[in-house]
Structure 1
Amino acid sequence: MPELVYPPVIALARTMFTLLDMRVRVEGGEHVPRTGGAVIACNHISYLDFIFCGFGARPSKRLVRFMAKQEIFAHPVGGPLMRGMKHIPVDREAGIGSYKAALAALKAGEVVGIFPEATISQSFTVKEIKNGAVRLAAAAEVPLIPMALWGTQRMWTKGRPRTLTKRNLPISVLIGEPMRPARRDKSDEVTAALRARMAGLLDRAQTEYPEKPEAPGDDWWLPAHLGGGAPLPDEVE
């Protein structure tokens, strides 16, 4: 089937990057395979993360099919776009259907994107993650690729006003080496290893980020362990 929706959406995103002079750094794009199925497991700090997670796969010329909550597909505008880009709805009341759809996509050679934290991390650290990404990669016998985003929370995150027109904003997209989970592996152990890799990538993205808060009240986008104003993980819980 021809891709009629995804390419124009990508073109629109790239235009936005250009108009805002965004500094998007992608490192490790070669880890996304150019052919065949793969699972990308990415941290979640912004409502726009799917744009930048997908952008991380562009060096390999891959389109990412994201697993996203069913409510987005019910939206009169978002729904047709999501279906046109062949994303996968997640019905939390009937999760087995979503799992089977993602598994079928992987076996058909698609790259499936998952945010295993399930919700946005307001502490800007990697929360406890669910094991669905590991289970899917093992069942489909495809690589599991850890990814970390940083800077996207400064545009639009939970509990903060949108700042979609901020210029010269640095965005970091770091992609780690693929993992190869097998059916015989214990999913909880592999999930813990995946979380550690995602956290390591995020730590490096935060350490290497080229900007610091401009004023005391501007430190909300930094995690508490780096001296920022974001809440600690247990405070969010």
Structure 2
Amino acid sequence: MKVLYALSDMEIELSENYVATLYIENMLYFRHTLQELSAQIAGAEGHWVFTQAQQQLDCKKDVILVTDLFHIDGNQKSVLSKLHAYLTSIAEEESELLYEINDKLRRLYTEITLQAPVEVGYKAALSAQDLIKAGDFKFEWGETELLERLVTYLDIICDLLKSKLIVLVNVRKYMTEEELKLVYEHCIRKKIPIFCIESGYTCHSVDELLEKVYTIDKDLCFIY
């Protein structure tokens, strides 16, 4: 996979074997390009280009942008719909249990309607999808530490949404080098496609085997 920005000579090769990190030293340029990327993911036109096997990715469908690690929870509508579909497929295999549940519900509904002051109708049977929807399933985070929260979120996005790229912004500002190594190792091991963008002056790689660093300096020159 490659990452390009059409208004510069930036071209970054992404790999399953390491994490690519781009430092943007010019803060105005950082803000402008990140705003543009956010708009592209929302469906607007822009100059960020992501390609895989020489095919351009659809930013809105294929790319996830994470800018605030304190507010990731995996409970956005698109993720929950995938979770519910997955749980429904499991519930559909429990045919005997579904029959028992519907049998008991029919008895309950019959008793309720007999006591109603007017004639009322009801749904004769609930599907596995109906029952999962009624369960209001969602991810519970509690007091999860930031490192565990991020790793779990990356797993959720990769496994359920099947996103082709997750862009993490300023993750280094929140984590120690040891924590970053754990995140990178996890992503490489599970083949979770991430690309990191950092603001400010370039730092050394946390581990040259895990991370490859690129820079757009304050004069907007691309350094690799």
Quickly name the TM-score band, shorter chain normalised: 0.3 to 0.5
**Greater relative contact order: 1 or 2 (C-alpha under 8 angstroms, separation 6 or more)?**
2
Structure 2-normalised TM-score? 0.36
Whichever structure has more strand as a proportion of its residues is 2
Give me the TM-score of the superposition, normalised by structure 1: 0.34
Q: Indicate the structure (1 or 2) with the bigger Cα radius of gyration.
A: 2
